[in-house]
Structure 1
Amino acid sequence: MPLQSRYTEARDTLRAWLGSGVLAPDPEPALYVYEQSGPGVLQRGLIGDVGLVDPGEHIVLPHEDVVPGPIADRLALMSTTQANLEPIFLLYEGGDGTATRLVDEVASTRTPLVSAHTEDGLTHRLWAITDPAEIAAINADLHDRQALIADGHHRYATYRVLQRQERVTRHASRPPAERLTPSGDVPLGPWDFGLALLVDSAAYPPDLKAIHRVIPGLPLEEAVARAKGAWRVQDYSELALGLTALERAQEPAFLLAGADGAHLLTDPDPVQLARAMPADHSDRWNSLNTSILSEFVLPVVWGMRDDEHAVRIVHHDTEAAVRLARHTGGTAVILKPLAVEDVLAVAAGGERVPRKSTSFGPKPRTGLVLRTFAID
């Protein structure tokens, strides 16, 4: 199916669902308390529309770079449907504020609008907050806080592109007398906001998982041999033993695995490491394991670029990464997850972590809350 046909089909489906009552707009403005729970999982937050601001204001902080292709795809979908079809995922430090206390009170004492179970073993519950006083209290508490984009960098970037696009279009079509408010501002429209889930990371620490690498063109034996010139290498006969050693090792540390055992890299040569890391980045950025992998291990130790052609990505699953390495005759690089506070600090300093550094969860489930511009 051509891409444009997919976007128009999505628009027509959304309209049909609204027309038939499969989807129904809420009768009054609301914020939503959203809870995800399951074995070892409990996350609560607020779903609502977040005001879009220039990144230079350091209110909503990205921590990853974006690329044009996904933005163009999401822009076409949002423009055609005139809707935000799923929330992005934001983290903020709530400091036991009003919003966090109210989220917990609502989830503990009120009857949910929706309760659903999904195949991943999680239960999803949703409550609407419609009391204007409660909504005002939440807005007042959140107004001066920063938020980190945990998931949805391309969608947030798309929100901003769509905002600029709609402002230009609507501004040009208005009569001159209606183009500015009495204060001189451009009137706000629904495209000046974007759907988001906000979670207090202090009350509900996110599950930040590692993203592993597989290098098909680099045999494990060769990878280990080259590493010995810059790292201390410890050999393990079984993957499980290597993973235990990695867990206990001080960063930076990597576990190399493939067809023949596992090999732990620790204690890099400080002179070689310092020479490799970029001087125009912060010490915090240069200490991240993904930064050291992309700036030192891959280009200096192994002589290759960190790109999608040479390096394949495996989310979370160490066994899957090692299987892929064995299948391709290559090397799996197993990493520990980054610390949330390191990601926050890097983002607050205006930097971006290397590609494929973080996988935050649990992510909001698509389909529970949608936001259409016509109804907003």
Structure 2
Amino acid sequence: MPCAMGKPVTSRNKLPQENLVSLDHCLIRPFAGLRPRRTDAAAVAAPPYDVLSSAEARQAVIGKPLSFLHVSRAEIDLPPEVDQYSPAVYARSAENFQRMIADGVLCRDPHACYYAYRLVMGEHVQTGLVAAASVAAYDSHRIRRHEFTRPDKEDDRVRQIEALNAQTGPVLLVHPDSVKAEQLLALATDSPPSIDLIADDGIRHTLWTIHDPASIAQISAVFGAMPNLYIADGHHRSAAAARVAATRRQQNHAADSAEFFLSVIFPASQMLIMDYNRMVRDLNGLTEEAFLAEVSKCYTVGASTTPVKPERRGVCGMYLGNRWYRLEILSGQVPVSDPVRQLDVSVLAEQLLGPLLGITDLRRDTRIDFVGGMRGLSELERRVNSGEMAVAFAMYPTQMADLIAVADTGQVMPPKSTWFEPKLADGLVSYLLDPD
């Protein structure tokens, strides 16, 4: 692939106007991506920055000097006692990033492109578009969110963007199903890919570069006509990008690249949401027998000889005292007119976690923990059997239609409501912000 990392060129994130629909108020646009050389792609690709702890990241990069974790989690290259939000971490991140560019490991495309990105996990396949998404559309809620953000995590991503002058962690977006969009991506993927690799977790990541002006114009028109996009994962990344854009706007920066953020957009029907399970450290002073009696006032409780993986909405599994129970919410307990309160995670919080276990703030209460479905129900058993946790709840996955319904009403979901798989890789495409 071309490696054109010479003097910065502000027009690289733009195309001639005759090749595009108007960029004014556009929803997405192409950009000149920074990508690893084909020969280095497998060595560079890394898990998203926020799915690994510092300790796990340190372990993951052993023998992997090119791993993008050296950029996204640069504290791994500093002594363990250094705080992960220290200025030294962002400085090291920028140093590592620039070294990878100078060494030719990461190369920038010479012109603005779109990219098709396919993820394969077992039998599951999803194909989406890598694009720069509009901050203006995010600010106006055309790109819709469903979660609150935490200021400290936003601050972290703002500092990372400013240190690198780049966005390296893509925001996972979803678009309503579109036959035209899928046809355009099918055409784009009917050619040899730019990158094709299988990550350590067995997920296959394939990337195609879309540089033909006619194809770019068609994609811009089809996606640009979509009424809304939805944030599936990456609320802190998108919020941070919007903050950086606002700051640069106030400073009268001439370059407009900060008015967009790195995204990968998949059709809603291809998204896979897994269960996001809950565990609590104690029974809030209740004995197991008393707790079960209270649970039976809002759920039908049935003992099970096997782990309970909920088969539908309204059902959850509970692991207590080395035993599984199937819980089914009693009729009339779910407010069907409210898209947030009818979620199983909301029902559990309102009917059980709050009134019985005293957990009313799922974001800050240290008595509760959350386990993504990829770890399996055995992880719930392990942590309860060890005595670390007193009870665990296996949840039915939130559905994509639920997420869209909540976002469309301008509401937010409870914390840890969705766990998307497979995860995007960091490092395959980064979005450089052009200098002023």
TM-score by length of 1: 0.86
Q: Secondary structure at the match of 1:64?
A: coil
Give how far 1:344 is off. Answer: 0.8
Cα distance change of structure 1 residues 56 and 10 upon mapping to structure 2, 3 Å threshold: closer
Q: In structure 1, what is the Cα distance between the partners aligned to 2:356 and 2:207?
A: 50
Residues 319-358 of structure 1 deviation map (CA, whole Å, 9 limit, x = unaligned):
1022112222500011110111111111111111111000
Partner of 1:352: 412
* Correspondence 1:322 to 2:381: yes
Choose from 101, 107, 114 the match for 2:183: 101
Q: Is there any run of 5+ residues in structure 1 with no aligned partner, and where?
A: 172-186
- 1:287-298 equivalence runs, <5 A: 287-298=342-353
Q: Secondary structure at the match of 2:196?
A: strand
Cα distance change of structure 1 residues 38 and 263 upon mapping to structure 2, 3 Å threshold: closer
Give how far 1:372 is off. Answer: 1.2
Choose from 287, 298, 303 the match for 1:230: 298
Give how far 1:190 is off. Answer: 1.1
Cα distance change of structure 1 residues 329 and 132 upon mapping to structure 2, 3 Å threshold: closer
Q: In structure 1, what is the Cα distance between the partners aligned to 2:290 and 2:127?
A: 47
CA contact (8 A) 1:231 1:267 kept: yes
Cα distance change of structure 1 residues 251 and 220 upon mapping to structure 2, 3 Å threshold: farther
Partner of 2:282: 217
Q: In structure 1, what is the Cα distance between the partners aligned to 2:217 and 2:435?
A: 21
TM-score by length of 2: 0.74
Give how far 1:158 is off. Answer: 0.6
Percent of matched pairs sharing the same residue: 24
Q: In structure 1, what is the Cα distance between the partners aligned to 2:370 and 2:225?
A: 37
Choose from 106, 109, 121 the match for 1:26: 109
Q: Secondary structure at the match of 2:301?
A: strand
Give how far 1:222 is off. Answer: 4.1
CA contact (8 A) 1:258 1:329 kept: no
Q: In structure 1, what is the Cα distance between the partners aligned to 2:160 and 2:237?
A: 11
Cα distance change of structure 1 residues 188 and 20 upon mapping to structure 2, 3 Å threshold: closer
AA in 1 matched with 2:301: V
The worse-fitting range, judged by mean Cα deviation, of 307-316 and 74-83 is 307-316
The worse-fitting range, judged by mean Cα deviation, of 56-65 and 122-131 is 56-65
Q: In structure 1, what is the Cα distance between the partners aligned to 2:170 and 2:389?
A: 40
- 1:130-209 equivalence runs, <5 A: 130-145=211-226, 146-170=228-252, 189-202=256-269, 205-209=270-274
The worse-fitting range, judged by mean Cα deviation, of 190-199 and 21-30 is 21-30
Partner of 1:362: 422
* Correspondence 1:48 to 2:131: yes
Q: In structure 2, what is the Cα distance between the partners aligned to 1:81 and 1:260?
A: 49
Partner of 2:199: 118
CA contact (8 A) 1:113 1:128 kept: yes
Give how far 1:113 is off. Answer: 1.0
Give how far 1:221 is off. Answer: 4.0
Cα distance change of structure 1 residues 282 and 154 upon mapping to structure 2, 3 Å threshold: farther
Cα distance change of structure 1 residues 357 and 288 upon mapping to structure 2, 3 Å threshold: same
Q: In structure 1, what is the Cα distance between the partners aligned to 2:281 and 2:178?
A: 46
AA in 2 matched with 1:315: G
Partner of 2:175: 92
Q: In structure 1, what is the Cα distance between the partners aligned to 2:389 and 2:93?
A: 42
CA contact (8 A) 1:224 1:263 kept: no
Q: In structure 1, what is the Cα distance between the partners aligned to 2:411 and 2:139?
A: 12
CA contact (8 A) 1:163 1:191 kept: yes
Partner of 2:144: 61
Q: In structure 2, what is the Cα distance between the partners aligned to 1:220 and 1:136?
A: 63
Q: Is there any run of 5+ residues in structure 2 with no aligned partner, and where?
A: 1-81
CA contact (8 A) 1:226 1:302 kept: no
The structure richer in helix per residue is 1
Residues 163-219 of structure 1 deviation map (CA, whole Å, 9 limit, x = unaligned):
111111235xxxxxxxxxxxxxxx6611100000011123xx211011111111126
Give how far 1:264 is off. Answer: 1.6
The worse-fitting range, judged by mean Cα deviation, of 218-227 and 10-19 is 218-227
- Backbone CA RMSD of aligned residues: 2.1
Aligned residue pairs, count: 344
Give how far 1:282 is off. Answer: 5.0
Partner of 1:374: 434
Q: Secondary structure at the match of 1:148?
A: strand
